[in-house]
């Protein structure tokens, strides 16, 4: 990475590169004493906040990285009344539930549906003991000015599954590169910093000056029904005669995601996994869904139009390529591995301590152009990607079939390469939104000069 333009000591570390630790606690809090909170924030908390610059080199990384972000309710509680210029943030995520996101509100964690979430601490380290020690330190400094509203402990999966989300697929491969910050890898789109950071080049909205170099954080607790997903793949395995039944089930999963579990993109490795390609950053993102001699309106022999990664980043399907609707993802899995009993029954346990999923984090300078746009206009829109001979159907991983209702059948086409018009009906949601909130992750100077007293 070459720093040519951005003030990396001022931008919180999770936004551009992520904290990349195996344990990450999301500690959601309510501000009960705003004056005390504001005085402790600048004097005690600010020195703990990890800027981007500290994460760039291993020898400057703290034992526990700390970031902080505020909801609109939290800013209100602090008496900060400036309009940050983002209606989704101002109204809060609950306002987006049914029509935009398609969530069923009854599945929401009560804390996210309530009014008590003023902010979130992101605490990331190698061990939960380190995370908890830093949390105690934070609470001591804040001296009773906050209370816990909710918390979610994220953790990387064990052993060989490290870096993979709970369905088993390698995650965190494709994020945009940022002009003036990153050196792009082959296939990586380079975008203006203003798409992710307020007040930077490419941010077209008028903002209060103190909001510069902050970013909106869209948080989602996305439960994953892993045994049900696995059973679906077995029951609907494809029928390539050169593959075993297991391989045909794997192939279906890879086509729903757009990548193999290894991370190899199906656009480059359409019928068999290629772990060498998957592990090579010079190759594993270098594709754009176009192939000489194939018709882009009909060809799904490489990647289905409905594949999750294609629905959420259509690359050269859009001409010119989209430069407005992008997010930087920084999520981490939460919850335990699937138990033998769940595997045997093909049903997720209802025991809350066995819930698992993705603690989803997306950064953008405009939520309605970023996370909310991707979910509503692309993932949940059966006709997107537009202009294809067969309508793709909604995203088979994260799309919701009936807005505001759970388990409405989804009908993606293109998953079966031998008959791309064939629809494989999915009768249940494998990803269930348990809710979330929109936050503003301010710059360190804003924490010091505007949020603190």
Cα distances from 144 to residues 28, 122, 135, 277, 336, in angstroms, run 14, 19, 13, 51, 32
Reported for 98-102, long-range contacts at CB under 8 A and 24+ positions apart, including other chains, are: 98/403, 98/404, 99/376, 99/403, 99/404, 100/372, 100/375, 100/376, 101/372, 101/375, 101/376, 101/380, 101/400, 101/433, 102/375, 102/376, 102/380, 102/399, 102/400, 102/402, 102/403, 102/404
- In the stretch 175-214, what mask flags binding to ligand HEM with x, by CB under 6 A? ----------------------------------------
Options 14, 171, 192, 273, the catalytic residue: 171
> Contact between 397 and ligand HEM (CB under 6 A)?
yes
Kindly state whether residue 371 participates in binding ligand HEM, applying the rule CB under 6 A: yes
The residue among 379 and 446 lying less far from ligand HEM, judged by its C-beta, is 379
Stretch of 72-80, 166-174, 240-248, 412-420 contacting ligand HEM, by CB under 6 A = 166-174
* Bridge partners, 147 (sequence order): 30
In contact, 78 and 41? CB cutoff 8 Å: no
Residue of the chain from 178, 309, 328, 447 that contacts ligand HEM (CB under 6 A): 309
Burial environment of residue 163 by CB neighbours within 10 A (0 to 12, 13 to 18, 19 or more): middle
Identify any residues that bridge with 12 across adjacent strands, giving them in sequence order.
51
Q: Identify which of residues 51 and 435 has a Cβ nearer to ligand HEM in the complex.
A: 435
What is the C-alpha separation between 185 and 188, in angstroms, rounded?
5
Alpha-carbon gap, residue 448 to 452, rounded angstroms: 5
Q: How far is the CB of 318 from ligand HEM (least distance, A)?
A: 13
Kindly write out the interface string for residues 310-349 of this chain, putting x where it contacts ligand HEM by CB under 6 A and - elsewhere.
Answer: --xx-------------x----------------------
In whole angstroms, the minimum distance from the beta carbon of 84 to ligand HEM comes to 21
Q: Is 206 left (phi over 0), alpha (psi -120 to 50) or beta?
A: beta
Token pair 């009768």: residue = 427
CA neighbours within 13 Å on the CB side: how many for 31? 25
Quick check: 118 binds ligand HEM (CB under 6 A)?
no
Nearer to ligand HEM, 48 or 398 (CB): 398
Which of 224, 230, 368, 369 lies at the binding interface for ligand HEM (CB under 6 A)? Answer: 224
Task: Name the segment binding ligand HEM (CB under 6 A); options: 136-144, 171-179, 339-347, 437-445.
Answer: 171-179
CB of 289 to ligand HEM, least distance (A): 10
Residues in the chain: 453
Q: Cβ 142 to ligand HEM, closest distance in Å?
A: 31
Cα distances (angstroms) measured from residue 447 to each of 192, 210, 339, 395: 24, 9, 43, 38
Binding mask 10-49 for ligand HEM (x = CB under 6 A): ----------------------------------------
How many residues touch ligand HEM under the rule CB under 6 A: the total is: 26
Question: Is 192 known to be catalytic?
Answer: no
Q: Choose which of 358, 394, 424, 446 interacts with ligand HEM (CB under 6 A).
A: 358
Q: Which is nearer to ligand HEM, 29 or 438 (CB)?
A: 438
In the complex, which residues of this chain contact ligand HEM (CB under 6 A)? 165, 167, 169, 171-174, 222, 224, 257, 259, 308-309, 312-313, 327, 357-358, 360, 371, 374-375, 379, 397-398, 431
């Amino acid at each position: 990475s070459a720093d040519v333009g951005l003030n990396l000591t001022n931008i919180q570390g999770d936004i551009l590169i992520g904290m990349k630790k195996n344990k990450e606690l999301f500690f959601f809090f309510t501000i009960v004493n705003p004056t005390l909170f504001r005085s402790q924030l600048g004097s005690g908390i600010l020195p703990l906040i990890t800027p981007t610059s500290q994460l760039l080199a291993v020898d400057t990384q703290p034992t526990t990285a700390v970031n902080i972000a505020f909801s609109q309710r939290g800013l209100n509680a602090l008496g900060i009344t400036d309009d940050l210029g983002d209606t989704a943030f101002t109204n809060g995520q609950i306002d987006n539930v049914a029509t935009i996101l398609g969530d069923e509100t009854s599945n929401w964690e009560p804390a996210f549906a309530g009014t008590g979430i003023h902010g979130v601490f992101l605490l990331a380290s190698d061990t939960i003991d380190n995370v908890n020690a830093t949390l105690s330190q934070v609470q001591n400094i804040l001296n009773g000015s906050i209370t816990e509203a909710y918390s979610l402990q994220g953790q990387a999966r064990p052993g060989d599954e490290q870096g993979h989300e709970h369905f088993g697929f390698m995650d965190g491969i494709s994020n945009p590169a940022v002009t003036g910050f990153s050196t792009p890898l082959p296939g990586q789109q380079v975008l203006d910093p203003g798409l992710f950071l307020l007040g930077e080049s490419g941010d077209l909205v008028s903002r209060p000056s103190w909001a510069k170099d902050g970013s909106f954080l869209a948080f989602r607790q996305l439960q994953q029904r892993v045994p049900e997903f696995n059973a679906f793949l077995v029951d609907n395995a494809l029928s390539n005669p050169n593959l075993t039944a297991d391989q045909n089930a794997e192939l279906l999963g890879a086509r729903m995601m757009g990548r193999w579990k290894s991370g190899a993109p199906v656009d480059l490795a359409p019928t068999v996994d290629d772990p060498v390609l998957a592990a090579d950053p010079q190759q594993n993102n270098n594709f754009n869904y176009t192939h000489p001699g194939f018709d882009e309106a009909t060809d799904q022999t490489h990647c289905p139009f409905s594949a999750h990664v294609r629905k959420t980043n259509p690359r050269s399907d859009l001409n010119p390529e989209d430069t407005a609707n992008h997010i930087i993802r920084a999520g981490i899995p939460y919850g335990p591995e699937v138990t033998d009993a769940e595997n045997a029954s093909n049903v997720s346990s209802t025991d809350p301590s066995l819930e698992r999923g993705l603690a989803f984090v997306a950064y953008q300078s405009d939520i309605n152009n970023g996370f909310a746009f991707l979910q509503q206009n692309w993932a949940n829109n059966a006709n997107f990607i537009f202009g294809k001979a067969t309508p793709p159907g909604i995203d088979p991983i994260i799309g919701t079939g009936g807005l505001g209702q759970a388990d409405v059948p989804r009908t993606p086409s293109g998953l079966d390469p031998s008959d791309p018009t064939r629809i494989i009906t999915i009768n249940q949601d494998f990803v269930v939104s348990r809710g979330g909130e929109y936050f503003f992750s301010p710059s360190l100077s804003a924490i010091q000069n505007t949020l603190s007293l």
